Copies of this chain bind each other. A is one copy, B any other.
Amino acid sequence: MQNPGYDGVTLRQIARRAGVDVALASYHFGKKLDLFQAVFERRAAFLNQARRDALHRCQAEAAEAGKAGPTLEQIIEAFLRPLELAQETGDTGWRHYLALIAYINNSPYWGPKMMSHLFDELVQEFIAALAKALPGARREDLYWCYHNLSGALTLTLAQTKRIDNLSGGLCRSADLQAAYDHMIPFVAAGFREVCASRR
């Protein structure tokens, strides 16, 4: 397997793969860091739009049905499933991109630098929806619950195959659908427990 992360790939490898000279990367993108950020930001907008659409869709459906808002499960599903669709296109670029999100979200170095300004606005919208589905919940409880959701998601996106070993092949990291099928009820129950018991 390829070495990990930012330092794991060299500009010369990238240039060779692209069939161009090394110095061209610097000419067109500036520093290696700028190229890295450009790569990360390129697909983020698409992903966020897919998630936003999914959230608004289930909110609209709830409104049509005369409900106050979507259920917890529907909101969490809107947060997770678009990531699955991105993978299902068969584009290996998306699989690598999801692993890149995991790498960045879990890093005390890259996380603060690259996650917040790209994803926090949408995350706040999701948290607002969750708050509406959990009336009376304390704000700090909502944030800690989101933290747990984000962590479970991040480990899933990282595709470490750890669960493959642990389960003797019964579960597979690559099976995003199974991961989400288990994550959605798990997380929803967690939100209900924490946000209900403390209000």
Interface residues in chain A, defined as those with a beta carbon under 8 Å from any beta carbon in chain B = 1-8, 99, 102-103, 105-112, 115-116, 120, 123-124, 127, 139-141, 143-156, 158-163, 165-167, 170-171, 178-179, 182-183, 185-194, 197
A178 & B106 in contact (Cβ 8 Å cutoff): no
Q: Which of A162, A178, A191 has the most CB of B within 10 A?
A: A162
Assembled-state Cα–Cα distance A140/B1 (Å): 27
Assembled-state Cα–Cα distance A172/B7 (Å): 29
Instruction: Give the Cβ gap from A12 to chain B, nearest Cβ, in Å.
Output: 15
Contact of A182 among B139, B145, B156 (CB under 8 A): B145
Oligomer copy total: 2
**Which residues of chain B are within 8 angstroms of A188 by Cβ–Cβ distance?**
193
Task: Please name the residue on chain B nearest to A106 by beta carbon.
Answer: B106
B112 & A162 in contact (Cβ 8 Å cutoff): yes
Task: Please name the residue on chain B nearest to A181 by beta carbon.
Answer: B144
A162 & B8 in contact (Cβ 8 Å cutoff): no
**Which residues of chain B are within 8 angstroms of A99 by Cβ–Cβ distance?**
108
Instruction: Give the Cβ gap from A101 to chain B, nearest Cβ, in Å.
Output: 11
A112-B162, A120-B165 given; name 17 further pairs at CB < 8 Å.
A2-B109, A4-B6, A106-B160, A107-B158, A116-B165, A139-B167, A140-B170, A144-B163, A144-B171, A144-B186, A146-B166, A147-B152, A147-B163, A147-B179, A182-B194, A186-B190, A189-B193
Instruction: Give the Cβ gap from A167 to chain B, nearest Cβ, in Å.
Output: 4
B143 & A112 in contact (Cβ 8 Å cutoff): no
**Which residues of chain B are within 8 angstroms of A179 by Cβ–Cβ distance?**
144, 147
**Which residues of chain B are within 8 angstroms of A7 by Cβ–Cβ distance?**
5-8
Task: Please name the residue on chain B nearest to A115 by beta carbon.
Answer: B162
